[in-house]
Structure 1
Amino acid sequence: MNTSISSVVVYVTYHGTPQDRFDRDYYIAAHLPFVMKAWSQYGLLGVTALFPAPEQEGTVALCECVFRDEGAVEAAFASPEASAVMADVPRYTALAPRRFRAVAL
């Protein structure tokens, strides 16, 4: 993906053990398209899912969300659609998502 210097990356991580439920198929096929549909109108440019080896304890899944700018991040997370996005989480995991922003050096 070609992003501009002003774009903002938000990482969403899920931490747990190999025994914790995380439905990768649902996450990729349903949740991420749902997030794109809900937040692209606010400036979400793209999402990418990454999964470490299943037998490792720690990070179970990581999603990279690229937003147009800081205003887009704020608008998406404050939007009426944000509660529906969060309500979808139990469909694929009981793990709590953690968010953090990456900044260019």
Structure 2
Amino acid sequence: MSRDATVTIYVTYEGKAGARFDRAYYVDRHLPLVMHHWSRYGLVEVAAFFPAEQQAGTLAICECRFRDEASVDAAFTSPEAPAVMADVTRFTDIAPRRVRATAL
């Protein structure tokens, strides 16, 4: 697999300092759930990033690497996608935003 063929999706959560975001649940439960459901469609890696200090703005970033564009589409339209999305309310009230990144 060529790294150039991979597609990166960043999922960000923006909010006020102190907004409900359960980091432990996100890392220990949600991300494994995402990998479990979407690895069969071509998700190859997930990673979570948090700001060094709690402040308003970006509270969390998830980097999702997919094998290719078809993998992204397959995962987000899969029968498992509703379960992945429904799990979001277990760790936050913030609506996630998705951004496709391209290498420069």
Report the TM-score, using the length of structure 1 for normalisation. 0.95
Deviation at residue 63 of structure 1 after TM alignment: 0.2
Match of 1:83 in 2: 82
Inter-partner Cα distance in structure 2 for 1:31 and 1:86: 10
Match of 2:9 in 1: 10
**Residues 43 and 16 (structure 1 numbering): CA distance in 2 closer, same or farther, change over 3 Å?**
same
Match of 1:24 in 2: 23
Read off the aligned partner of 1:62 and give its amino acid letter. Answer: I
Read off the aligned partner of 1:45 and give its amino acid letter. Answer: V
Inter-partner Cα distance in structure 2 for 1:25 and 1:69: 29
> What's the C-alpha RMSD, in Å, of the aligned pairs?
1.2
Deviation at residue 71 of structure 1 after TM alignment: 0.3
Deviation at residue 55 of structure 1 after TM alignment: 2.4
SS in 1 for 2:5: coil
Q: Structure 2: which 5+ residue stretches go unaligned?
A: none
Deviation at residue 3 of structure 1 after TM alignment: 5.9
4+ residue runs over 2 A deviation: none
CA contact (8 A) 1:54 1:60 kept: no
Match of 2:42 in 1: 43
How many matched pairs? 104
Aligned pairs (5 A) from 1:59-74: 59-74=58-73
Inter-partner Cα distance in structure 2 for 1:3 and 1:15: 32
The percent identity for this pair of structures is: 60
Name the stretch that deviates more: 54-63 or 37-46.
Answer: 54-63
